[in-house]
Structure 1
Amino acid sequence: MVETFVTSLVNGTVSYDKKMFANNFEYINTANNNKLNKKKFLKLLEQNKGLEFDAKTSYEILEETNDICIAKSVCQFSDFSRVDYITLAKTGEGWKITKVMTTYP
């Protein structure tokens, strides 16, 4: 799920986006304190559909229990980095992303 999310960000693919996110999904960009719900975030991803970014990506699972997971993804661009902290929860429909916090260290 985390890999699919990261890939969709840099490759502009949106085929799984509606299934990836929980209904109570929240996105927070800490650089400008911009907050988006699921509907607004999906609209943003749709606007970027087909845009491919030149970035090296990686991710790691920081913590995982039976029903919650916290991951960190890094997108390294030529002159800056984007770090996403991704929270997932196990639901009746499988794992869903419930929150993404983006930082630019």
Structure 2
Amino acid sequence: MKTLKSIMLGLALLIIGGTVKAHTPPVNDNLTKTYAVNTYINAITRGKMDGLSDVLDKSVKFSMLRGNDVLSFDKKEMLDFMRKDRNVQQSCLTSTHVVESSNDIAMVRVDMQYDNFVRSNYVTIANTGAGWKITSVYSVFK
């Protein structure tokens, strides 16, 4: 009887452990901080859209300061806009600077130097549990 109780307890723990494990989101090992930033840069500077949708969080927000107005866009609006510029190479020099980085969140400034101005993109990347994803981009023109 004691052995039967031990076996039943073991099976119950195995079922509970399997159920809990089944509900955890899969982690994509490719979704690193570096991959997310490089994919974003390839999209905005070279029009290379491969993997961009994967590195953008479903609730990502794009904001752009134009004069005194702040324009805001969601994921679908930005992807639709970027698809129109697919494979268009920007004539700018691009540089990156890590502003802040931790185990859970990072902010990277991506500067695009054109002939007459600089576009600075402040890209926030978060560890979403399913990999690192871009949660917001704030663009400023100088």
TM-score tier (shorter): over 0.9
Unaligned runs of 5+ in 2: 1-35
- Which deviates more from structure 2 when the two are superposed, residues 32-41 or residues 20-29? 32-41
Alignment of 1:1-105 (within 5 A): 1-31=36-66, 32-105=69-142
- 5+ unaligned residues in a row in structure 1: which ranges? none
Secondary structure at the counterpart of residue 116 of structure 2: coil
The DSSP-based 3-state class of the residue aligned with 1:30 is strand
Percent identity at matched positions?
A: 25
TM-score, length basis structure 2:
0.71
User: Structure 1 residue 2: deviation in Å?
Assistant: 1.3
Give the residue type in structure 1 aligned to 2:118: S
- Structure with higher helix content: 2
Indicate the structure whose relative CO is greater, using CA pairs within 8 Å and at least 6 residues apart: 1
Which 4+ residue blocks in structure 1 deviate beyond 3 angstroms?
none
Kindly name which structure, 1 or 2, has the bigger radius of gyration based on alpha carbons: 2
Aligned residues: 105
Return the TM-score normalized by structure 1.
0.95
